[in-house]
Amino acid sequence: MNQDPLQTPSPLAVIRWGAFFALAYAIQGFSQTATLFYQPINFYYKTAHHYDAGDLARVMFLLGIPWYLKPVYGLLSDFVPLFGTRRKSYLMLLSLLSTLAFGFLLGVSDPYVMFLLLMLTTVGTAMSDVMVDGLMVEQGQKSGRIKLYQGLQWVAIYATSIGAAYAGGAVSQGAENVGEPIRAIQWAAMLAIGGPAVLFVLTWWMVDEPKSRLDVRGFRETLRGINRAARSRPLWLAALFLCCFWFQPGMNAPMYVYATGEALNISEAFWGKAAAMGTFGYLLGAVIFLVGLGPYLSIKKLALIGVTLYSAATLGYLFLMGPKTLVVLGLLLATANAIANLMLLSLAAQVCPKRVEAFVFAALMSLMNLSRYGSEWIGGRLYAGILDEHIQPLIVISAVVTMLTGLLIPLLPGAPPASAPPTD
């Protein structure tokens, strides 16, 4: 894959871009339907409209549709500049859309209108995520700071997700106390509305993007970028590694059934607390990657560490004996998960061709998500089927499949060009 020579940015430029990426992801981590609104949405529809578990799952699945379409948003911004830019104008417009949708949520009581407004906020968040990632890939490739920017993003999103989860629980409890379920979503909207408004200002102030226009030359350059992507051996090998890494038989649902069933009799309340405490492992893993691993190691070495840590953390569940070990193992697995995830994201960003950064990165993220969801389905089927609800064989199978992914590491692309800054 052809790469432009790396540019050496000024320290102020690195700080500016790093701060922007961290703040943008912090806002995203706090105000989306999967974090702040997750419990209020479930509480409202369950309490006010008597939705059962299947109905609630359908609501969350439908609200997730905008995230499944990320490659479409990337292709749009890569091909069709808006008001002279490929990312900045889109990001400002989407921030305005989300702000307005959150504002309307404050006074809506009809459940269907509320759902449509929540869908608009999800569209705004998902498309904004693609635009921010497009900028991150462009700036990271130019300066050699991909791992730095990725680390800052995910430290920020993991940190604010913790706060969002607790805030979502607090507004749901408050709505239950006053006997008005709708207040849970309205109060969550009050907390969320400032996020996209701040992102609008930050984008206008901090994002310096070259002008671009929709013309024959730009169209041809984007088509050439797609052609380079289709013929890029490093890109296809990276895509294969991304898919294989997360396609181990998933253990989330089987472990939940096992731990809260007769085997361990862990209560639902404690399971929820353990999951919340495990979130700190994601933050710890992101910090370790940002400070101790990413600045010093190549993608291949990071991949080896990711495979080793995640396999070992998975095997650790063979020693699950009760509540205390559940918390410890959850923290270890979350830490390994975050390190592995940031390694995969850095790999994906490194192999994106010019002019189609947003489209290719979004497509790789969609492949990775598809592999994760598919692995969970396979793990659940194995556990309930041929494994006859025995968790230990599933743990071993999952760990071994992850280890086998290590065979693909020699095929991964090497380090960025030698002119890359040595510390990032």
Instruction: Render pLDDT for 6-48 as a digit per residue (tens, 0 to 9).
Output: 556 788 888 999 999 999 999 998 988 878 888 788 788 888 8
The two tokens of residue 106 are 């404050």
CB 275 within 8 A of CB 330: yes
Q: CA-CA distance, 148 to 22, in Å (whole number)? A: 10
Residue-averaged pLDDT of the chain:
83
> For residue 375, how far is the Cα from the chain centroid?
17
Stated length of the chain:
424
> For residue 292, how far is the Cα from the chain centroid?
21
Proportion of the chain above pLDDT 70, given as a percent? 90
DSSP state string for 60-75: HHHHTHHHHTHHHHHH
Q: Does 97 have pLDDT greater than 90?
A: yes
Q: Does 284 have pLDDT greater than 80?
A: yes
Confidence of residue 417 (pLDDT cuts 50, 70, 90): very low
Whole-number pLDDT of residue 52? 67
Residue whose pair of structure tokens reads 């490093």 in the numeric block: 234
Q: Which of 2, 73, 24, 3 is nearest to 365 (CA)?
A: 73
Dihedral, CA of residue 173, residue 39, residue 122 and residue 22, to nearest 10:
80
Condensed to tens digits (0 to 9), the pLDDT of residues 356-374 reads 776 787 788 778 777 776 7
Condensed to tens digits (0 to 9), the pLDDT of residues 174-220 reads 888 898 989 999 999 999 999 999 999 999 999 988 887 766 666 67
Q: Which of 238, 295, 355 is nearest to 3 (CA)?
A: 355
Confidence of residue 281 (pLDDT cuts 50, 70, 90): confident
Condensed to tens digits (0 to 9), the pLDDT of residues 207-259 reads 988 887 766 666 677 777 777 777 888 888 888 888 888 888 777 767 777 88
Residue whose pair of structure tokens reads 């309490």 in the numeric block: 47
- For residue 25, CA distances in Å to 28, 71, 240, 256, 351 come to 5, 19, 27, 29, 22
Whole-number pLDDT of residue 20? 96
Confidence of residue 54 (pLDDT cuts 50, 70, 90): low
Q: CA-CA distance, 295 to 150, in Å (whole number)? A: 11
Q: Does the predicted TM-score (pTM) go above 0.85?
A: no
Whole-number pLDDT of residue 397? 92
